[in-house]
Amino acid sequence: MQLIFKIQPAKQHGRSPIEIILRDKNKISKSITDDTDNLLSTLDKLLKRNKIKLETLNDIKVEIDKKAGLTSQRIVKAIVKALGLNL
């Protein structure tokens, strides 16, 4: 199971929407948030909706647009680091 964070280009006020994607062999599930304050809860809801535990994730990928906000990038990188997987 792969977890992907896609950080989109920054919109007004410098905020970058973040798309969270769960990819399995035959299934892809997505969720998006415009507010980094809600990123962890969005991730939690996506995992619960798909009945996935963090232990089953074997790969985390971060895709960053060139025009993505710096704060959004730092928050996503911190979450990935906290999950125990390096970028």
Tell me the pLDDT tens digit for each residue of 71-83.
Answer: 999 999 999 998 8
Residue 86 pLDDT > 80: no
Instruction: Say what the pTM is.
Output: 0.89
pLDDT value at residue 13? 73
Residue 4 neighbours by CB under 8 Å, 6+ apart: 19, 20, 21, 22, 23, 60, 61, 62, 63
Spatial CA neighbour of 77 closest among 57, 58, 63, 65: 63
Q: Which residues pair with 5 in a beta bridge?
A: 20, 62
pLDDT value at residue 73? 94
The CA distances from residue 61 to 14, 51, 64, 76, in Å, are 23, 20, 10, 10
pLDDT tens, 19-41?
Answer: 999 998 889 999 999 988 999 99
SS3 40: helix
pLDDT tens, 61-72?
Answer: 999 999 999 999
The CATH homologous superfamily for domain 2-82 is: ATPase, nucleotide binding domain (3.30.420.40)
In the chain, where the domains are located: 2-82
